[in-house]
Amino acid sequence: MASAATPVERGRPSFGRPRRARLPDEILKWVLTLLAAGILALIGFFFIRLYGEAHLAFSKFGWIGFTFDNSWDVSKSVFGALPLVVGTMITAGVALVVGVPVAVAAALYVTELCPRRLRTPLTILIDLLAAVPSIVYGLWGVFVVIPRLRSIEQWFSDTFGFLPFIGGHVAGPNYFIGGLILAIMIIPIVSAISREVIATVPTDHKEAALALGATRWEMIRMAVLPYSRAGIMGAAMLGLGRAIGETIAVTLVVGNAPEIGKHLFDQGYTLAAVIANEFGEAAATPIHRSALIAAGLVLFVLTLAVNAIARYYVVRAERTGTAAGALPGVTVTE
Amino acid sequence: MTSALLQTTSAGRRRRDVGMRGVLLIGTIVALVPLFLVLFYVVKRGIGAWSVTFFTTDPTGAFLGDPGGVKSALLGTIEIVLLASLIAVPIGIGVAVYLVEYGKQSPFARVVRYFVDVLTGVPSIVFGLFIYIVLILGGGFGGFAGWKGSVALALLMLPVVTRASEVVLNTVPDTLREAALALGSPRWRIVFRVVLPTALPGLVTGALLAIARAAGETAPLLFTAFAINASNFDLGKPMNSLPLQIWNDVRQAQDRLVERAWGSAMALIVLILLLTIPARILSRRSRTA
Amino acid sequence: MITVKDVRTRTNDEAEQADATPIAAAAPADERAPVERKRGHTISLRDLNVFYGDHAAVKGVDIAFAANKITAIIGPSGCGKSTLVRAINRMHEEVPGGHIEGEILLDDTPIYGDGVDVVAVRRAIGMVFQRPNPFPTMSIFDNVAAGLRLTGTARGKNLNNIVHDALRGAGLWAEVKGRLEKPAMSLSGGQQQRLCIARALAVRPEVVLMDEPCSALDPVATLRIEELLTDLKERVTIVLVTHNMQQAARVSDVTAFMLDGELVEVGDTEKIFTNPDDERTEQYVSGKFG
């Protein structure tokens, strides 16, 4: 004889939450996932639109032609970006050569050598270099650095003129000054990441070196630097990426001459600078505008490549157990 | 004989030790000298331009006579950056929450994370170009406008906020989440009531630093916001900003305009410091908490 | 009159002589070269207090670590034994606020004080740490050679000899002799610790301090190292900090018991473990606390 639901069934607790209560969870999850997917869509969109506009220039000059022809002539509407690419490489190269050693030296000093109570103030000061807007660096470069360094540069050019790439008359704004200003601008980021990397060196290894009878510097050389090497390379690559992409500061001090200078102290041009300078007048001319956007695309690809290399180094550092941890963007936890 | 056990280290080693330590100290000084030189110079040249009229009048655009102040530029920067922050900070934190709470190490999340990283490396001028293409050339949106500059800046800030927020959210201990889950709390409540409040100081710090960075950018505004002289509160029209004002003024021949450029530079730095310094204090305090 | 220069020259000669003599301890009989017994060295602590800032972690310790003997320091966690030992090779001062009062002497020479080169002290007094810490980016050979390359006293063939001897002395030679250029991190935990011992031995210290060297190792690896110690003491004076009482009983000649920063009792190992003078010692070794 069938009775109503068995007593066991009636008493069983229900674990499912009613549909209504699960809704906020679902909504939140989908909204956030959509946002994240949106980032991917954005980047895809990025490329497509950029390439779309650049297509005109690429089809007229060819990919290789546009990037590697040495002929940027606005008046004749001929656009080969080689002087810009070379200029970008030279200024970024100078920035690396000057900026990375200084940044790493500062990172080493602050982490390993300086008196404890100076550590925080020095760190804040180094990071403060990043707070100065790039346009201010550019202005300072124009008004202070260029005039002050001119005679020294000329002396250097005359004395060491026998070296390749050195010599010639020193133009006011030039590759070197461009690189110098960039060096100052990449110091905070390279130093911050290097600091984090150096700080993760386990005390064990440092103590092992000291206990063997190593001086402080020998300890740094034996235990700290080899361990941090991959992470520091990653930091340097990130600095390079920043140097390649910097626009305003460079365009004020590099000279904006669309030729490949023969000397370090010649005027030059960079990809970013040409876009900033010529965009105003180019807006009306489709081919010029397309060429500038194509230059932007080349710049984009360049920074992508450099950042990919940076990531490779950081991953390698993490894999060999010599961790890096910190990556680009903002170092929130100093 | 026993004193010979402690053979003192060779002079060469000692010299190298002292020498290299000196080199590192010099490196640190070299890194800091430009900071002081720049700040000193900006103050020296800019302080003369600061006055009440500097802050309360708009640029007149006149070549001769009174050049006016930079009120529109100052207001413009604040408005544009504010809008950019309103866009970038919630979205950035949202994506970070997704990555930490939901996506974690799934293939999709890893791809997103990778591309956020990619975005952090994009030069700011490329963002400007992109917005120009999409919003200005694209037609239908009108010409230059303040809000388009904001969008360009927001693109710049987004990966920075996301990355910093992700780092901070990851420091919230899992034990907190597990405790809330064990009490039967739904995910969304955990996010809003437990995770976000705990991470709040770090999130604010990340946001402030990203905002400070955006405030100093010139390139993205060059072909999006454009610069006009009059103050306006309409982000739908071209809008002035400090970086653009500086960019325009400094290329003029008139001394007074150049001086005004330096005054603006100083104002911009002060603005950025007003964002950066509280951010650092906050980050320090939340770490010792 | 003996001048400083004379002393130094004499020591260089001695060093060269020592270089030519292998340490060879655990090698099989036919491989073992004649062991030249060096005169042993002592460490004396006189009224030693070791501070972290204002807090004294070690109070009023007087003790002499006998030459060519193994002295074990035992005691419960936090009694100050590690701190004590780190003061001996002046590693304690690397900690902010770390300083000492009192005297520490290597034979008759104070190792603290003006004019004493801390780097030289650490060469003469070596240390093996609790967790094996070979330099991760270096090969097995380079790890052992690391200390030697600092002083530059040995080059080329001489360097090779010393490294090989140190590895023999640490009982590691047989296991690594064909692959010295392999990374040090490819070794097991126990092997890495023996590598660290070889590294410490290579610079010919007079004394070796061991701070719980086996606590991170498995029993088999521990046993191997304990066997090593008995041979090693012919070359160096050993101070062994251990929380493992059985180890102290097995290996050491002299045992010192510390409690709350003070040296409670020190004496022959057998006596300490069977018939100690102090009641606290008796309670500790019979397991009533700690």
Domain enclosing residue A131, as ranges: 61-319
CB–CB contact B1 C120 (8 Å): no
ipTM given for this complex: 0.87
The confidence band for C23, taking pLDDT boundaries of 50, 70 and 90, is very low
Please tell me what DSSP assigns to residue A293. Answer: H
- Closest Cα in chain C, distance from residue B1 (Å): 7
Which pLDDT score is estimated for C3? Answer: 36
CB–CB contact C109 B2 (8 Å): yes
Q: Which residue of A has its CA nearest to C150?
A: A214
- Closest Cα in chain C, distance from residue B22 (Å): 19
pTM across the whole model: 0.84
Give the containing element (helix H, strand E) for C45.
strand C43-52
d(CA B276, CA B282) in angstroms, rounded, equals: 10
Nearest to C89 by CA among C44, C55, C41, C122: C122
Helix-, strand-, coil-residue percentages of chain A, each rounded to 5: 75, 5, 25
Question: Per-residue pLDDT for C19 more than 70?
Answer: no
**Averaging pLDDT over each range in A99-103, B108-112, C103-107, which range is the top one?**
A99-103
Residue to substitute from A114, A203, A212, interface C, most C β-carbons within 10 A: A212
Query: Could you give the angle at which helices B11-46 and A82-108 cross, rounded to 10 degrees?
Result: 120
Quickly count: other Cβ atoms within 10 Å of residue C274's Cβ: 11
Beta strand C98-106 with C109-110: parallel, antiparallel or unpaired? antiparallel
Contact C252, C269 (CB under 8 A): yes
Residue to substitute from A135, A177, A274, A315, interface B, most B β-carbons within 10 A: A135
Does the beta carbon of B261 lie under 8 angstroms from any beta carbon of chain A? yes
Quickly count: other Cβ atoms within 10 Å of residue C128's Cβ: 26
Which pLDDT score is estimated for A20? Answer: 64
Mean pLDDT of all residues in chain C?
A: 85
Residue to substitute from C135, C197, C239, interface A, most A β-carbons within 10 A: C135
Which pLDDT score is estimated for C64? Answer: 93
Contact B264, B242 (CB under 8 A): yes
- Provide the percentage of residues in chain B whose pLDDT is more than 70: 90
Note whether residue A11 is domain-resident: no
Does the beta carbon of C188 lie under 8 angstroms from any beta carbon of chain A? no
Strand partners, C207: C125, C237
DSSP symbols for B142-164: -S--HHHHHHHHHHHHHHHHHHH
Residues of C in contact with A208 (CB under 8 A): 129, 133-135, 196, 199
Does the beta carbon of B141 lie under 8 angstroms from any beta carbon of chain A? no
The SS3 of residue C123 is helix
d(CA B128, CA B223) in angstroms, rounded, equals: 7
Note whether residue A333 is domain-resident: no
Note whether residue A23 is domain-resident: no
CB–CB contact C136 A210 (8 Å): no
The SS3 of residue A220 is helix
Contact A172, A255 (CB under 8 A): yes
What residues contact B8, with CB distance under 8 A and at least 6 apart? C117, C120
- Closest Cα in chain B, distance from residue A76 (Å): 24
DSSP symbols for C72-117: EEE-STTSSHHHHHHHHTT-GGGSTTEEEEEEEEETTEESSSTT--
Listed by start position, the domains of chain C span 37-278
Residues of A in contact with C198 (CB under 8 A): none
Residue to substitute from B130, B205, B262, interface A, most A β-carbons within 10 A: B130
Q: Which residue of B has its CA nearest to C106?
A: B2
Residues of C in contact with B6 (CB under 8 A): 106, 109, 111, 116-117, 120-121, 124
- Segment C248-272 mean pLDDT: 93
Nearest to A333 by CA among B196, B274, B285, B112: B285
Nearest to C136 among A209, A210, A321 (CB): A321
Which pLDDT score is estimated for B140? Answer: 54
Does the beta carbon of C165 lie under 8 angstroms from any beta carbon of chain B? no
DSSP symbols for A96-147: HHHHHHHHHHHHHIIIIIS-HHHHHHHHHHHHHGGGS-HHHHHHHIIIIIHH
**Lateral strand order in the sheet of C207-211:** C125-128, C207-211, C237-241, C70-74, C254-259, C262-268
CB–CB contact A209 C146 (8 Å): yes
- Segment C156-178 mean pLDDT: 91
Residues of B in contact with C124 (CB under 8 A): 5-6
The confidence band for B289, taking pLDDT boundaries of 50, 70 and 90, is very low
- Provide the percentage of residues in chain C whose pLDDT is more than 90: 68
Tell me which chains share at least 3 CB pairs under 8 Å with chain A.
B, C
d(CA C166, CA C171) in angstroms, rounded, equals: 9
Question: Per-residue pLDDT for B229 more than 90?
Answer: no
- Closest Cα in chain C, distance from residue A230 (Å): 11
Residue A260 belongs to a domain with what CATH number? Answer: 1.10.3720.10
Does the beta carbon of B202 lie under 8 angstroms from any beta carbon of chain A? yes
Residues of B in contact with A108 (CB under 8 A): 24, 27
Nearest to C231 by CA among C17, C19, C23, C15: C23
CATH number listed for the domain at residues C37-278: 3.40.50.300
Local confidence pLDDT in tens for the 334 residues of chain A = 444 444 444 555 556 666 666 777 788 888 888 888 888 888 888 888 888 888 888 888 888 888 888 888 877 777 888 889 999 999 999 999 999 999 999 999 999 999 989 998 999 999 899 999 999 999 999 999 999 999 899 888 888 888 888 878 888 899 999 999 999 999 999 999 899 889 889 999 999 999 999 999 999 999 999 999 988 988 999 899 999 999 999 999 998 888 888 888 888 899 999 988 888 777 778 888 888 889 999 999 899 899 888 888 877 776 665 443 444 433 333 2
CB–CB contact A22 B117 (8 Å): no
Chain C contacts in chain B segment 193-212 (CB below 8 A): none
Does the beta carbon of C199 lie under 8 angstroms from any beta carbon of chain A? yes
Which pLDDT score is estimated for C207? Answer: 94
Q: Which pLDDT tens digit goes with each residue over C37-48?
A: 557 899 999 999
Does the beta carbon of C133 lie under 8 angstroms from any beta carbon of chain A? yes
Question: Per-residue pLDDT for C221 more than 70?
Answer: yes
CB–CB contact C137 A207 (8 Å): no
CATH superfamily of B52-288: MetI-like (1.10.3720.10)
Which pLDDT score is estimated for B265? Answer: 92
d(CA A19, CA B199) in angstroms, rounded, equals: 30
Nearest to A272 among B99, B125, B130 (CB): B125
Which pLDDT score is estimated for A67? Answer: 82
What residues contact A10, with CB distance under 8 A and at least 6 apart? none
Residues of C in contact with A214 (CB under 8 A): 119, 122, 147, 150
Contact A244, A179 (CB under 8 A): no
Q: Which residue of C has its CA nearest to B14?
A: C119
- Closest Cα in chain C, distance from residue A193 (Å): 21
Tell me which chains share at least 3 CB pairs under 8 Å with chain C.
A, B
Beta strand A70-73 with A78-81: parallel, antiparallel or unpaired? antiparallel
Domain count, chain A: 1
Nearest to C207 by CA among C241, C185, C236, C165: C236
Which pLDDT score is estimated for C213? Answer: 93
